[in-house]
Amino acid sequence: MALSALQRTTFLVALAGCSTAAAPFLDSGTGNEPPPRPDAPPVDMPPPVDMPPPVDMPPPVDAPPGIYSHTVTIDGVDDFTAVEQFATTSNGFAARVTWDATNIYIAYTGADIVPTTSDAKQKWLFAYVDTDPGAATGATESQTYNTQKAKFPAGFGAEFYARWRCDATFHTLEKHAGGASWSTTGAVPPASQVGPYLEFAIPRVAIEATGTTIGLVTWMINEKPGVEGTFAGLFQGNFTNGYGAAMQLTKYLRIDLTSQNPPNDPGNVAP
Contact pick of 84, 132, 228, 256 for Ca ion (by CB under 5 A)? 132
Minimal distance, residue 205 CB to Ca ion, in Å: 17
Contact pick of 86, 123, 126, 157 for Ca ion (by CB under 5 A)? 157
**Calpha distance 39→174 (Å, rounded):** 93
DSSP helix, strand, coil percent of the chain (3-state; round to 5): 10, 30, 60
Question: Cα–Cα distances in Å, from 264 out to 23, 44, 173, 186, 271?
Answer: 84, 70, 24, 31, 15
Minimal distance, residue 188 CB to Ca ion, in Å: 18
Of 172, 171, 163, 190, which is closest to residue 104 (Cα–Cα)?
190
The H helix count followed by the E strand count for the chain is: 1, 15
Contact pick of 71, 73, 212, 260 for Ca ion (by CB under 5 A)? 73
Under rule CB under 5 A, residue 138 binds Ca ion: yes
Q: Which is nearer to Ca ion, 73 or 240 (CB)?
A: 73
> Which listed range, 8-16, 19-27, 131-139, 178-186, lies at the site for Ca ion (CB under 5 A)?
131-139
Per-position b or e across 246-268, b if 16+ CB within 10 A of its CB: ebebebbbbbbbebeeebbeeeb
Minimal distance, residue 158 CB to Ca ion, in Å: 6
> Which listed range, 35-43, 60-68, 76-84, 258-266, lies at the site for Ca ion (CB under 5 A)?
76-84
Interface of this chain with Ca ion, residues 77 to 96, rule: CB under 5 A: 77, 79
Under rule CB under 5 A, residue 189 binds Ca ion: no
Under rule CB under 5 A, residue 75 binds Ca ion: yes
> Which listed range, 14-22, 120-128, 155-163, 252-260, lies at the site for Ca ion (CB under 5 A)?
155-163
Question: Which positions lie near Ca ion, rule CB under 5 A?
Answer: 73, 75, 77, 79, 130, 132, 137-138, 157
